[in-house]
Structure 1
Amino acid sequence: MKMAVPQRAAGVRTPGILSAAAREAGASLVRNLSIPAPFSDPVVEAQFLEDHSQRFCAFRRASALLALVIWTCFLWWDFSFVRGNKALNVRLADILALRFAGVALLIFVGALVLRPSFRSHATAHRVILTGIFGLLCLILTMVAITPAPYNYTQYFIGLYLALFFQFSFFYLRSRVALSVGIVTMASVIVAQIAIHLLNTEDFFAGLFYMFNVVIVGHGVCTHAERVSRERYSSERALASLNDELRTANVSLGRKNRELEVSKKDQENKTHALLALREQQMIAAQTASREKSNFLAAATHDLRQPMHALNLFLQAAAEAIRNGEFAQAERLIDECGRSSVILARLLNAVLDLSRLESGRVVPRYHVFDVRQIVEEAAAQLRPFATSRGVELRLRLPKEEVVCVRSDSHWLGRAVANLVSNGIKYADQNKSSKPTVIVGVVRSATRARIDVLDNGIGIPADYFDAIFQPFFQVDNPEQDRDKGLGLGLSIVNAVMSMLDQHRIELKSTEGRGSRFSLEMPLCGPSPDKPSARAPARSEAAEAAQLKGRYVLLVEDDGLVRASTEALLSQWGVLYDSAATFEEFETILGDIERFPDLIITDFRLRDSKTAREVAMTGAVKLGRPCPCLVVTGEPSASIVPLACEQDVLSKPVSPAELRSGMLGLIAGDSATTA
């Protein structure tokens, strides 16, 4: 009973083991007879075929020469056997002719396989298939012309030998070798049907053996190709790993060298960082001293007109109390002159500060540079006449000189240079003081030249004149000769604008030439904005009389002074100190305002944007807004209406012009 259990168990397991072995054997047979798939990448497949052809080139050459030797030996056999056989003797000449044709074919093939081009895959396949198919045709012809049964026993077996050669010795691709075997079998079948090539028994026996030769040969050829492909893949993978290893070694060597260089440079970098830190400390100290000097000079220059303004006001008040109204009027005029100087100095300091801090963003566009030169000349011609200076222009009359720049800041730079030339005119010369402004163009650049025949600048001062508050030949700090900031602003403007530069040429006692150079553009300037025609103060005041304005200003002193000025111009107004008061006025308003004048930043985090939006909602349509503020122009958020921005301090003339510009623009739009 104990021995029966394992026997019964073994009997149960045996069919399963045999079934698994049979399945494994069947799978192996299918794999060995399946044509290997080519590489998925056509480039890799082509490289494999070339490598395969070159790898077996020598063996293929030896096989071709061996085939020639074997075929020649069969020639001797045919001559000996056929000559002694009466039945075959009648075909001896034909058989020998076919044998010699085969010898010639193999000699031709042998010559081809010895050529260097035989290493190529395409050439090798053509040559080998030519030899194989040629010999198969010759053998089939021998079978066809030889009487039975010798055609089967003596020559049909030659087909087996030829197929054996092509399957075993030439390392053809399994697909090609199988195709040769199939074509050979098909040729035998067609010949049997057409000319009764063999006896029936011999035909079926020969076809059976040939089928087996093809199957076995195909299996051998398939295995050889699969091994060759796996070997090629392994070699490629190994080569790739070797390349990666070499690359890693090269990278490691480079990193080692870099590490050595880094170690050597570390000390130099440390010394360089220490030196840089020391230089930065010195630069910071220098900048701090320059800033302190600038603030001291600015404070000194701002105190002078402010001091004069206070004294003039006190004197005017005393004159009014004493009834000296003519004297009071003269003193008030002097107050106005002092306030103009104070505002001009403050604006210049603020402009220079903004330019040097980088808060000014240039607004580039294409325009005719002659326009800003003409505007600067028109603005400064009365000043030149009052100083006895002749102001001349030399501009191209027929061609447009278009540049890409910021017309506002470039115009400021040109006006400052022309103003400097007028201020420093030499009145002691026999020739009349003259300032010439010219425009010159080259292939890619445009240049604005400002020349004068004034006192000139010594070469030692060429760098110093661009520093703030430095003035040549003005030791008494006469404000009629300028503030000493004009050239500093010009230098800051040209440094801010892309591809712009300034050049100075001067001879002491003979005059100076300042040149501003900038990129030249195409002949089509951007469309300029409409400019209001110039009007006199009386005409401007008449234009404002009877207009209705809403004033929003949270600073009481500024609001009171603006109200007084509006009253003198005959302007009707309502003023608000807060945004809530402005909303109250809008709720009770009976007339649509011609203009809203507002500060940009109000109390309770309100801005001119809320003023404009609220006005548009409650009035039914947007109303023009004039923003008078101390904020930088670049920080002003665009409003939802027509607007203009004036930077404090603002002169009455600037305020009047700004108001008229917006009112005139709104009237044109409404019309």
Structure 2
Amino acid sequence: MAVPQRAATVRTRGMLAAAAREAGASLVRNLSIPAPFADRALEAQFLEDHSQRFCAFRRASALLALVIWTCFLWWDFSFVRGNKALNVRLADILALRFAGVALLICVGFLVLRPSFRSHATAHRVILTGIYGLLCLILTMVAITPAPYNYTQYFIGLYLALFFQFSFFYLRSRLALMVGAITMASVVFLQITVRLLNPEDFFAGLFYMFNVVVVGHGVCAHAERVSRERYSAERALASLNDELRSANVSLERKNHELEVSKKDQETKTHALLALREQQMLAAQTASREKSNFLAAATHDLRQPMHALNLFLQAAAEAIRNGEFAQAEKLIDECGRSSVILARLLNAVLDLSRLESGRVVPRYHVFDVRQIVEEAAEQMRPFAASRGVDLRLRLPKNDVVCVRSDSHWLCRAIANLVSNGIKYADTGNKAKPTVIVGVVRSPTRARIDVLDNGIGIPADYFDAIFQPFFQVDNPELDRDKGLGLGLSIVNAVVSMLDEHRIELKSAEGRGSRFSLEMPQCGPSPEKPAARAPARSEAAEAAQLNGRYVLLVEDDGLVRASTEALLAQWGVLYDSAATFEEFEDILATIERFPDLIITDYRLRDFKTAREVAMLAAVRLGRACPCLVVTGEPSATIVPLACEHDVLSKPVSPAALRREMASLIAGA
């Protein structure tokens, strides 16, 4: 049983030692002066907050001190007057008491001022009152005979120290300094003037030391609690600020989420609406394309059907020996083929323009040249219809624009052709088409005016649709194919900053206006074309010329050979690039012209044809490319060349041949 008892004893001793260490540490902590905040600005903020927090209590304590001191005045008056030993000091004691009352009244006045809320002012006022009262009490102790100086007045030092340690919430360092100075003053006065009896001195000093120690502990604890409370409040305020910031951020994010949700819903609805619009647009485009193909197929079948019937009738006339009738029928065959070629080219041009495969080639040029060129192309047609074609152009001023000269010329020609076709021949005034150029500081405008039948306002949009024609219910091909204005609209839509405007009055005529950006003068100019010649002049120019023909399609090659032979043109033809190379190695005459398809077999093109001819012949030879390829995809050749799109009318082929040969 001894071992467990000994273990319990050891455990008890250990617990007591731990408790003693804990108590000692707590005592040391409570008696130690709290450290100020490391940040001076934070320390200053704490002191101001501390003074404002206990300002009211300090004011009440100062007034309480005035009341207690005044009560002691009454006590002194009653006690000293009845005591013969103290009666001789009554006047001095009362004077000191009244001095204390005056001091405390001044302190009370100062503590009631608003400036007392600041830390510096509060400490100055409180310490002034405390040190003043301590000095008055020590003076009373010094002038009062023993033992009354100890029993009646020395205890006033304890009361003053109790007040300054507890009621005024001073910093512990300052309160401890007051206590230490008071004890040092007592010791100094005891040594110099024998303030108290030795027994009373040691007893009073002992009690004073205990008051200072206990008061310091209370003051240090109060300051430490106040500092910890301030830190906690700051931390709490910081957390509250962070919480408010987090709440604000959360509200903002919530608002953003709501906005994003609404935007997403809006986008979703917009996408659904766009999808429906696209579906409707695709369906509409499909219907329009189907209608376009149906109309194009119908219009292509008509001249092809007529061509077949004319050919069959001509063959029957030849077999019957009716050669004059056969000649007329063959002329009708040519007319049908021209209409067929014109319709096919128009359909292909419109299809290429609307599909976006045509890339405009912009350059700066004088628009007057393009207008004159388009007018020259249309003059024979105008003369055949009895229409007067006039130009109104600035004579001396250059009107430079930035556009595609080829497609702009096509658009102008189509507008002029449209005005000629719908001329009002029943009007007394002579049918007239006027083409004019008007310019502003930044824009140039080409006007095509006619005095024809006019266009009703209800048809302003419809006339730009393919195969739509006003006042042509019988589909007279002499009045066109209904594609001219569609091509004009597609050209204007393709070219940047170009615009078309229509003004028309039924029975009085129409005005089509093309607007485009105007530029300053530029050296870029479209190549001037050779002046138009008559058919007889063209035929005379081609007679006896030598041409090399490169065409891999047998039917096209045979028909071209037959046409060249009828025109009196000497030729050699090749079906492949190798045959063309063999011809170049054996010919004895320099060719006047090379006619070639653009894309040949074995991945050869007209570019290789032109380059081979330049190498073998020693210099470049003019080339005429007759192809079904879009002209925009043709790579420039290493020679003077022109491009015709199949199908080509014999008149257009002869005109281009004569133009290239004349240029060479």
> Shorter-chain TM-score category?
0.5 to 0.7
Matches within 5 A, 1:453-492: 453-492=451-490
Q: 1:479 to 1:253 in 2, by over 3 A?
A: same
Equivalent position of 2:370 in the other structure = 372
Deviation string 1:114-146 (CA, Å, 9 cap, x unpaired) is xxxxxxxxxxxxxxxxxxxxxxxxxxxxxxxxx
Equivalent in the alignment of 2:225: none
Which residue of structure 2 lines up, in the alignment, with residue 513 of structure 1?
511
Gapped regions of structure 2 (runs ≥ 5): 1-243
Aligned amino acid, residue 613 of structure 1: M
Q: Shift of the alpha carbon at 1:596? A: 1.8
Aligned position for 2:400: 402
Q: Please state whether the residue corresponding to 2:603 is helix, strand or coil.
A: coil
CA distance change for structure 1 residues 539 and 392 in 2, over 3 Å: closer, same or farther?
closer
Q: Residue 542 of structure 1 aligns with which residue?
A: 540
Q: Decide which of 415, 421, 424 is 1:423's aligned counterpart.
A: 421
Q: Shift of the alpha carbon at 1:590? A: 2.5
The CA distance in 1 between the partners of 2:438 and 2:249, in whole Å, is 58
**CA displacement at 1:268 relative to structure 2:** 2.6
**Residues in 2 aligned to 1:469 and 1:572: alpha-carbon distance in whole angstroms:** 42
Of residues 557, 560, 570, the one that matches 1:559 is 557
Q: Deviations over 1:482-515 (max 9, x none)?
A: 1100110111111111111001111112211111
**Contact preservation (8 Å) 2:464, 2:485:** yes
What amino acid maps onto 2:619 in structure 1?
R
Q: Distance in 1 between matches of 2:605 and 2:352?
A: 22
Which residue of structure 2 aligns with residue 346 of structure 1?
Answer: 344
Q: Deviations over 1:548-572 (max 9, x none)?
A: 2221111111000000011112211
Q: CA 1:273–1:394 in 2, change beyond 3 Å: closer, same or farther?
A: same
Distance 1:650 1:276 in 2: 44
Deviation, structure 1 residue 630: 0.1
Mark the CA change 1:614 to 1:380 in structure 2 (over 3 Å): closer, same or farther: closer
> Aligned residue for 2:3?
none
The 8 Å contact of residues 402 and 525 in structure 1, kept in 2 or not, is answered as no
Amino acid at match of 1:599: D
Which amino acid counterpart does residue 276 of structure 2 have in structure 1?
Answer: E
Q: Structure 1's 386 and 663: CA in aligned 2 closer, same or farther, altered over 3 A?
A: closer
Evaluate the alpha carbon distance shift between residue 604 and residue 525 of structure 1 in structure 2; reply closer, same or farther with a 3 A threshold.
Answer: closer
CA drift at 1:333: 0.9
Letter in 2 for 1:258: E
325-334 or 544-553: bigger deviation? 544-553
Residues of 1 paired with 2:488 and 2:449: CA distance? Answer: 16
Alpha-carbon separation, structure 2, partners of 1:265 and 1:395: 56
Larger Rg: 2
1:248, 1:368 → 2: CA distance?
Answer: 69
Residue of structure 1 in register with 2:438 after alignment = 440
Structure 2 CA distance for aligned equivalents of residues 395 and 641 of structure 1: 34
- 1:478 maps to amino acid: D
**Could you list the per-position Cα deviations for residues 319-372 of structure 1 after superposition, in whole angstroms to 9, with x for gaps in the alignment?**
111111111111111111111111111111111111111111112222222222
Q: Is the 8 A contact 2:368 2:399 kept in 1?
A: yes
Residue 381 (structure 1) aligns with: 379
Determine the structure 1 residue equivalent to 2:603: 605
Counterpart of 1:437 in 2: which secondary structure? strand
- CA contact 1:545–1:569 (8 Å) conserved in 2: yes
CA deviations over 1:16-72 (Å, ceiling 9, x no partner): xxxxxxxxxxxxxxxxxxxxxxxxxxxxxxxxxxxxxxxxxxxxxxxxxxxxxxxxx
Q: Which residue matches 2:239? A: none
Q: What is the rounded CA distance, in whole Å, between the counterparts of 1:247 and 1:469 in structure 2?
A: 70
Q: CA deviation at 1:431?
A: 2.4
The structure 2 residue matched to 1:290, chosen from 288, 296, 299, is 288
Residue 262 of structure 1 is matched in structure 2 by: 260
**Residue 285 of structure 1 aligns to a residue in which SS?**
helix
Counterparts of 1:67-106 in structure 2, within 5 Å, are none
Choose 547-556 or 621-630, whichever is displaced more.
Answer: 621-630
* Deviation at residue 436 of structure 1 after TM alignment: 1.9
Q: Identify the residue that residue 120 of structure 2 maps to in structure 1.
A: none
| 1:517 match: secondary structure | strand
Measured against aligned partners, the alpha-carbon deviations of 1:364-411 in whole angstroms (never above 9, x if no partner) come to: 222222222222222223322322222222222232222211222111
Q: 1:589 aligns with which of 584, 587, 590?
A: 587
Contact 1:532 1:661 in 2 (8 A): yes
Q: Residues 249, 365 of structure 1: CA spacing in aligned structure 2 closer, same or farther, 3 A cutoff?
A: farther
Distance 1:250 1:522, change over 3 A: farther
The 3-state SS of whatever aligns with 2:507 is coil
> How far is the alpha carbon of 1:529 from its aligned partner?
1.8
Question: 1:391: which partner in 2?
Answer: 389
Q: Distance in 2 between matches of 1:249 and 1:664?
A: 88
CA distance in 1, matches of 2:246, 2:500: 55
Deviation at 1:456?
A: 1.1
% same residue: 89
Q: What corresponds to 1:663 in structure 2?
A: 661
- Equivalents in 2 of 1:621, 1:435: separation in Å? 46
1:334 maps to a residue whose letter is E
Alignment gaps of 5+ in structure 1:
1-245, 667-671
Residue 240 of structure 1: aligned partner: none
Cα displacement (A) at 1:579: 1.8
What SS does the corresponding residue of 2:446 show, helix, strand or coil? strand
Question: What is aligned with 1:238?
Answer: none
* Partner SS state of residue 520, structure 1: strand
Matched, 1:299 2:297: yes
Q: Within 5 Å, which residues of 2 pair with 1:2-401?
A: 257-401=255-399
CA distance in 2, matches of 1:374, 1:611: 34
Structure 1 residues 250, 416: CA separation in 2 closer, same or farther (over 3 Å shift)?
Answer: farther
Structure 1 residue 249, shift from structure 2 partner: 11
Contact 2:405 2:526 in 1 (8 A): no
Say which SS state the counterpart of residue 471 (structure 1) adopts.
coil
Counting matched residue pairs gives 430
Cα distance change of structure 1 residues 625 and 395 upon mapping to structure 2, 3 Å threshold? closer
The letter of the residue matching 1:414 is I
The residue number in structure 1 matching 2:566 is 568
SS at match of 2:500: strand
CA distance in 2: counterparts of 1:477 and 1:579, whole angstroms: 45
State the Cα distance separating 1:471 from its structure 2 match: 0.3
How far apart, in 2, do the equivalents of 1:561 and 1:251 lie? 84
Partner of 2:641: 643
CA, structure 1 residues 469+257, in 2 after alignment: closer, same or farther (shift >3 Å)?
same
Q: How has the CA–CA distance of structure 1 residues 247 and 351 changed in structure 2, closer, same or farther, with 3 Å as cutoff?
A: farther
Q: TM-score, normalised by structure 1?
A: 0.60
The corresponding residue for 1:223 is: none
2:622 corresponds in structure 1 to: 624
| Secondary structure at the counterpart of residue 604 of structure 1 | helix
- Conserved in 2, the CA contact under 8 Å of 1:554 and 1:578? yes
SS of the equivalent of 2:396 reads coil
CA contact (8 A) 1:550 1:597 kept: yes
For residues 245 and 412 of structure 2, the distance between their equivalents in structure 1, rounded to whole angstroms, comes to 63
> CA–CA distance in 1 between the matches of 2:474 and 2:385?
19
Amino acid aligned to 2:323: F
Q: Which amino acid aligns with 2:481?
A: L
TM-score by length of 2: 0.61
**Aligned partner letter, 1:627:** V
